[in-house]
Amino acid sequence: MVDISGKQATVRTAVAMTTVTMHPDTLQAIKEGKINKGDVLAVAQIAGIQGAKRTSDWIPMCHPLPLTGVNLNFTDNGLNELYIEATAKTEGKTGVEMEALTAASAAALTVYDMCKALQKDMVIGPTLLRSKTGGKSGDYLSEF
């Protein structure tokens, strides 16, 4: 693990995004609450938060962080794509990019799990870091 003991603690934020592509009727069933396993977006939100909190358990060499906030937003294109945006925040010596990416990924995997009985060929991705603030390397904003 990288030694961060000499780094300055700063307020840090990261925003990650992923997409789940599915049949239009699968997306409609999610929006109408017609998935047998329950409220897909509510469960995916909890999974994303739990994923962010446990990122250092999933990713080797990742520092455990005291998160000050995790938020997930779900939008769609009205056709066949569900967009998941995850924001992670901390005040610390290392960034929260991995926590935001893990949150988005865990939420997407949960959507897949809850809807796989209806559709097995959903596609997850691309998953990407949209932006980050704070730290020695400064701010970052994706061009995608």
Active-site residue set: 113
Cα separation, 136 vs 54, in Å, equals: 24
Cα separation, 84 vs 75, in Å, equals: 7
What residues pair up with 19 in beta bridges, in sequence order?
A: 83
Bond from prior residue into 126 cis (ω within 30 degrees of 0): yes
CB 88 within 8 A of CB 73: no
Residue 134: partners with Cβ closer than 8 Å, 6 or more residues away = 10, 11, 12, 13, 95
